[in-house]
Amino acid sequence: MNQIPAILYMTYFLFLVCDVILSCLAGSLRSCLKHQGVVFPEDVTVYYPMNLESSSTLRCFTSFNIFSLPVGTEGAIPRLWELRLRRSNVSSFVEAITSSTIMQLAFLILPASAATRLLEYVMNRASCSINCILGHNLDQDLLLDGSPVEKFIPLEDRGYGLSITIIESKDSFQLAVLAPSSQDYAIKPAQLCVEFARHTRVLSARLTERARVVRARGQKILNSRRNSVFIVEENDG
């Protein structure tokens, strides 16, 4: 998974690390579903804690909304752009801010057990939960979706659905997957981990090839301009 920092560098850090991770996860889920015979996989609804603050210096203000992962989008680069668009749209929704405020008030007003059950009810609308835990070392703040985490809310295992956690430390990424043990469940944790590593390599290769083509076209235009002869006509008047 060392390709993720390289992908960020090749895109001139236009995308966040979470954009890259989620787009590769979408491609991995798509491959797993197609391997199970699903010809046209649909988008997957996921519970993904998302930072809503506009400034990186502020603490993490989390949205509890359901997020749609572009599993139905074909192509590594189109999936990356679609993912970035959806995340930016979700971050701007009033509903996202409202739901987060309601959950924070719930933990202030209600008993912890009741507020936790309310949060679990919100999460049950999604078929998958994803967490990106980013941090360089244990001495620094733990980052969730790129922002410092102030507190954790322990939740009981739902017993169904898919749970994915990505942990980053010193540019090294690890993927943990929990899935129902039923043989009929389409997503197998081992296969998803293999597909995620493969899709990071695929996205890196696609971006490398695109960068090579762009550089070649730019060099061709530059060479044509160097070989051009410009004639300046003098005005007799």
Lowest mean pLDDT among 100-104, 142-146, 195-199, 233-237: 233-237
| Number of domains, the chain | 1
In a domain, 235, yes or no: no
Q: Is residue 232 part of a domain?
A: no
Residue 236 lies in a domain: no
SS (HEC) of the chain: CCHHHHHHHHCCCCCCHHHHHHHHHHHHHHHHHHHCCCCCCCCEEEECCEECCCCCCCCCCEECCEEEECCCCCCHHHHHHHHHHHHHHHHHCHHHHHHHHHHHHHHHHCCHHHHHHHHHHHHCCCCEEEEEEECCCCCCCCEECCEECCCCCCCCCCCCCEEEEEEEECCEEEEEEECCCCCCCCCCHHHHHHHHHHHHHHHHHHHHHHHHHHHHHHHHHHHHHHCCCCCCCCCCC
What CATH number is associated with residue 72? 3.30.559
**pLDDT tier for residue 122 given thresholds of 50, 70 and 90:** confident
pLDDT, tens digit, for every residue of 215-226?
777 777 777 766
Which of the two residues, 74 and 172, has the higher pLDDT score? 74
Q: Count Cβ atoms below 10 Å from residue 102 Cβ, excluding itself.
A: 12
Q: Which residue has the higher pLDDT, 152 or 133?
A: 133
Residue 18 domain-assigned? yes
Q: Is residue 58 part of a domain?
A: yes
Least trusted range by pLDDT, from 34-38, 66-70, 72-76, 150-154 = 150-154
Range of the domain at 74: 4-227
pTM of the model: 0.72
The answer to whether position 61 is within a domain reads yes
Predicted confidence at residue 85, as pLDDT, reads 86
In a domain, 237, yes or no: no
Q: Is the pLDDT of residue 57 over 50?
A: no
- 54 pLDDT band, cuts 50/70/90, is very low
Tokens 């005005």 correspond to: 235
Q: Quick one: pLDDT at residue 26? A: 92
Within a domain: 72: yes
pLDDT per residue as tens digits for the range 63-91: 666 778 899 999 888 998 898 888 777 66
